Structure 1
Amino acid sequence: MYWAGLLISNTGSQMQVWAIFWHLRVLSDDPIVVSGIGIAKFLPILLFALIGGLVADTFDRRRVVLITQTAMILIATALGLLTYFGHIQLWHMYILVAIQGIAVSFDGPSRQSMVPAIVPREDLPSAFGLQSIAADVGAVVGPALCGLVIATLGLQWIYWINAVSFLAVIIALINMGPIPSPRSLNINKTMNPFKRLNFAEIPAGIRFIMGHPIILSSMLLDFFATFFSSANTLMPFIATDVLHTDAIGYGWLSAAQSIGAVAVALFMAQANGVRKQGKLLLWGVGAFGVATAVFGLSRNYALTMLALIVVGAGDAISTVLRNTIRQLQTPDEMRGRMVSINQIFFAGGPQLGEVEAGIVASTLGTPFAIISGGIGCVLAVLFTAFRYPALRNYNGDEEVLAGAKG
């Protein structure tokens, strides 16, 4: 039921992500203004993610996610109402997206840390494969529906549909029992919630990451690869100015990455004993970069779709392997803080990359911004492969991966 809730919620969230890009394009024709939404998303995560990780390691993780999901319902509803009444302005979107970033800072660490608590250790690779499928199916259906809804009903309906979609996760969580963090079991429940938080424990999470080169290098690879290759906010410009397509065509372009991601995630969820995870991770990110460059070079709709499908496939390989490696190597009492630090890398790369892509696009053109980003991603893979041989040669937890079932 929780997996189904994630699937429904991810579909609504992906509809909103791509609707915001399109909405910003309607409000402004400046790529920098449109790409600047990445800063609005990332700054709250940078400021609050570490606190969100500490909260995940201190309180009942299910309760934290219930609160954050409710907050995101209110944000999506507000976007819909402002759009419906014709009052929406750029600053409204920036502020509401920033508030959502705060909610995500607390939602991500608790939600990711719940998985090892409800899934046996030997099934973690398959669990993360299924979680990736839920995200990727939503990312196929969501953008396609986004284009259709924009063309037929209007932008406000996307925000309202997303608000309703969060209820699927909330209902699933209500039907689950408490999922306490290890530390919460030893804390006096009558104590003031703020006094339960020991902020001195945040540096321990940083020291843990710095002391584990495989985890650290996987985070750095994720950051630099997505920093250079993130150009999703430029998709409306590619759709309208290069490929000359409409909102429905834009919706399918937006879904293309996830078509490839779903195919790979289905395979990863069924894989029985994936070996040479380090090399496979590097090859996946490398394919991501090469396909991004092809995307920038393309002037043909079909070739662009194919390139984006490969982008999604490479990203899915990377996502499943990175999540599995990190969770298997992190003790439960440290898991929330590990996820929160990863969230900074995970969000920082693409969000800052969107801004970088917008600046380059406004000065040198949209295609050049995407092509150079793909080349930068490949260079980041080569640097990581030679700088961190431990990641390159990583074969994984043999006992756990050998027992993984789909």
Structure 2
Amino acid sequence: MNSRPSPFLALQHRNFRLLWTGQLVSLSGSMMQTAAILWHVSLLVPESQKGLALGLVGLVRVIPIVIFSLVSGVVADALDRRRLMLLTQTGMTLAASALALITFRGLTVVWPIYLLTALSAAAGAFDNPARQSLFPTLVPREHLPNAISLNAIMFQAASVLGPSLAGVVIAALGVKWVYALNALSFLAVIAALLLMRALPQRAESEKSEISPRAALDGLRFVFAAPLIRSTMLLDFFANFFSSAMALLPIFAQDILKVGPQGYGWLYAAPSVGAVVASVLMVRLVDRIEHRGRTLLWAVVGYGAATVIFGFSQSFWLTCLCLALVGATDTVSMVLRNIIRQLTTPDHLRGRMTSVNMVFFMGGPNLGELEAGMVANWLGAPFSVVSGGVGCLLATAWVAWQTPALRRYRRDEPVLATQGAAAD
């Protein structure tokens, strides 16, 4: 009788296990700070400016990503990715430490929060392509879907722990201690990178040059590949229209009236659903036959849950809707990442990831700005409901435009650029 493969297969590889564990600690700290910044900003601005001020947090995150996206991918494909991550993680540690220091000294204006958030995002713009290009080299190719699913579990577990702890720490000790704990959390990834051994070495011929031509090669690859391009568009549109996380302080304070601890649970609710979905995906991802259709239906569920959340006046119904948002987003994220990683050559992974970063980070962060502006004009519930409807319409458009995605099946031998003519 054949036994099922372990759902933790990729963790048997030491270097992947080190990076996975370090990221779990570090991302928990980052998620704490993300939630804390929104709460902090909401307390520092007048009521009439709250929606816009919260939306601006997303804008200052996305500007460095747009500025550095192309060059960061080229750098990740040209340099030693582990050493590059050591530099970026150190930069983010310094930014979090500075934010903690000025908050301990008494911060009464929001612009330093925006500035340090932007500096941390600039470091992250170089960190993400290096990290996303490094981890597929830490496991054999046949273990990559399992590694991607385990990364989803790690990300979502951190997304539960971080905001939940943020709510408790803010209520007990104040927002300044959240920033301090986040600064310490980066040391876990730095330690993991230093402890790695016997990393695969890329041949010089596999490394790109740092030049405008190399950046354009990455763009040409992405936009000539219908499967990769469509997954990025789905990611962007879904998150642009349905990014309501920046409005959670308004829902917690003014609509549901649940205070900082209730806010922490609201912020963590998507990740609770996402953790459940991640665990299921570890076991089921290799059995999903129609991966393209499943991806599209997951994004439809994401938009529908967002619409119901916007109408909700109940704390528990809101938590349920947010959990469904997280669950469907995780199914979508795992399938998108599998498609992209399996159809991208290693020498282009950094550049593919940097282009994807514009969509992956730009969608939610620009969406937070859009959601904040609409909330300022027409109210937070209208902003959320209209965003969910926009997500559904955008998903229908991408499905119609990309037959290759609708047809995509498990283990289908697909070249990255296959299907371009059909589209």
- Displacement of 1:275 in angstroms is 1.5
Percent identity over the alignment? 48
1:303 to 311, 317, 334: 317
Task: Give CA deviations for 1:312-355 in whole Å, capped at 9, x if unaligned.
Answer: 00100011111110000000000000000000011111111111
Please give the alpha-carbon distance, in whole angstroms, between the structure 2 residues aligned to 1:186 and 1:204. Answer: 14
* SS of residue in 1 equivalent to 2:118: helix
Matched residue, 1:313: 327
> Which residue of 342, 348, 360 maps to 2:356?
342
**2:232 pairs with one of 208, 219, 235:** 219
1:330 matched residue in structure 2: 344
Deviation at 1:396, TM superposition (A): 3.6
CA deviation map 1:243-292 (0-9, x unaligned)? 01110000000000000100111111122332211111111111111001
1:23 to 32, 40, 62: 40
TM (norm. structure 2) is: 0.90
Corresponding position: 1:241 with 2:254: yes
Distance in 2 (alpha carbons) for counterparts of 1:362 and 1:337: 37
Distance 1:236 1:131 in 2: 28
Q: 1:278 to 1:186 in 2, by over 3 A?
A: closer
CA distance in 2: counterparts of 1:180 and 1:351, whole angstroms: 35
Describe the SS at the equivalent of 2:78. Answer: coil
SS in 2 for 1:57: helix
Moved segments of 4+, more than 4 Å: 178-181, 183-187
Is 1:174 matched up with 2:194? yes
The answer to whether residue 222 in structure 2 is matched with residue 202 in structure 1 is no
SS class of match (2:287): coil
Alpha-carbon deviation of 1:357? 0.5
Counterparts of 2:347 and 2:394, CA distance in 1: 32
Cα distance 1:80–1:139, how it changes in 2: closer, same or farther (>3 A)? same
What do the CA deviations read for 1:172-204 (whole angstroms, capped 9, x no partner)? 1101137577365777xxxxxxx9523321100
Please tell me the residue identity of whatever aligns with 2:320.
L
Deviations 1:374-397 (A, max 9, x none): 111111111111111111111143
Is the Cα–Cα contact under 8 Å of residues 44 and 108 in structure 2 kept in the other structure? no
The answer to whether 1:99 aligns with 2:119 is yes
Give structure 1 stretches of 5+ with no counterpart. Answer: 188-194, 401-406
- 1:88, CA displacement in angstroms? 5.0
Q: Give me the whole-angstrom Cα distance separating, in 2, the residues matched to 1:56 and 1:133.
A: 25
1:395 to 390, 400, 409: 409
2:264 corresponding residue in structure 1: 251
Q: State the secondary structure of the residue aligned to 1:11.
A: helix
Moved more, 390-399 or 137-146: 390-399
Taking the TM superposition and a 5 Å limit, the aligned residue runs for 1:109-148 are: 109-148=129-168
- Relative to structure 1, the CA distance from residue 184 to residue 16 in structure 2 (aligned partners, 3 Å threshold; closer, same or farther) is farther
Cα distance in structure 2, aligned partners of 1:178 and 1:359: 50
Indicate the SS of the match to 1:299. Answer: coil
Gaps of 5+ in 2: 1-17, 415-423
User: What root-mean-square deviation, in Å, do the aligned CA atoms of Structure 1 and Structure 2 show?
Assistant: 1.6
Q: What amino acid sits opposite 1:210 in the alignment?
A: F
How many Å separate the matches in 1 of 2:202 and 2:224? 22
CA distance in 1, matches of 2:28, 2:268: 11
Q: Quote the Cα distance in structure 2 between the aligned partners of 1:182 and 1:140.
A: 36
